[in-house]
């Protein structure tokens, strides 16, 4: 993408975000030569297929992702808007990977990575659904993996910690 000011061919992306309808990505770029800023508008061909556990495929649908995350965030301090922007962020992440297909588990792992940063309770709930924990130890390991600065629950590594999370 040539700089519209000096025609230099290299620029760096300073910001990427979705258009309101989610069908395009706007990128703020800065020319590496003249430092002028400009915006590029990319439309996307989002035909990612999700490979389910039973081996069947279905189209990736952002609404479905939103509903899944929303369910995990119920009764937490995560707002509707936050879930929406998280959903956009994850969708943009998927697109940037230029995948044609993604396994359910892989998609779940990506969502968990994002949820982990914003809310412990939502993260654990989501992890329970996606990882299909076999026992409490796996759940506790998931809690242990949550970063310390995220929430004080980490200092309380027992089952009660799950409930204590509500007050942190």
Residue nearer to Zn ion on the CB measure, 10 or 58? 10
Taking CA atoms, 40 is separated from 4, 47, 98, 148, in Å, by 11, 22, 18, 38
- Applying CB under 5 A, the residues found at the interface with Zn ion are 3, 5-6, 8, 31, 33-34, 36
Phi and psi torsions of 134, nearest 5°: -85, -35
Phi and psi torsions of 143, nearest 5°: -65, -40
Residues 168 and 151: beta-carbon distance below 8 Å: yes
- Residue showing tokens 């952002």: 62
CB of 26 to Zn ion, least distance (A): 19
The H or E element containing residue 90 is helix 80-96
CB of 29 to Zn ion, least distance (A): 10
Residue nearer to Zn ion on the CB measure, 8 or 57? 8
Residue nearer to Zn ion on the CB measure, 36 or 49? 36
CB of 41 to Zn ion, least distance (A): 18
Residue nearer to Zn ion on the CB measure, 9 or 59? 9
CB of 39 to Zn ion, least distance (A): 14
């Amino acid at each position: 993408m040539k700089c519209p000011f000096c025609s230099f061919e290299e620029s760096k992306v300073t910001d990427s975000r979705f258009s309101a309808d989610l069908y395009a990505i706007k990128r703020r770029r800065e020319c590496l030569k003249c430092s002028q800023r400009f915006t590029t508008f990319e439309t996307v061909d989002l035909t990612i297929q999700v490979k389910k556990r039973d081996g069947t495929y279905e189209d990736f649908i952002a609404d479905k992702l939103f509903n899944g995350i929303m369910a995990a965030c119920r009764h937490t301090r995560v707002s509707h808007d936050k879930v929406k922007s998280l959903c956009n962020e994850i969708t943009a992440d998927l697109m940037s990977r230029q995948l044609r297909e993604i396994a359910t588990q892989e998609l779940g792992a990506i969502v968990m990575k994002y949820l982990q940063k914003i809310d412990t309770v939502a993260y654990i709930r989501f992890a329970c659904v996606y990882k299909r924990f076999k026992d409490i130890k796996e759940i506790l390991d998931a809690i242990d993996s949550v970063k310390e600065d995220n929430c004080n629950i980490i200092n309380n590594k027992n089952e009660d910690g799950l409930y204590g999370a509500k007050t942190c």
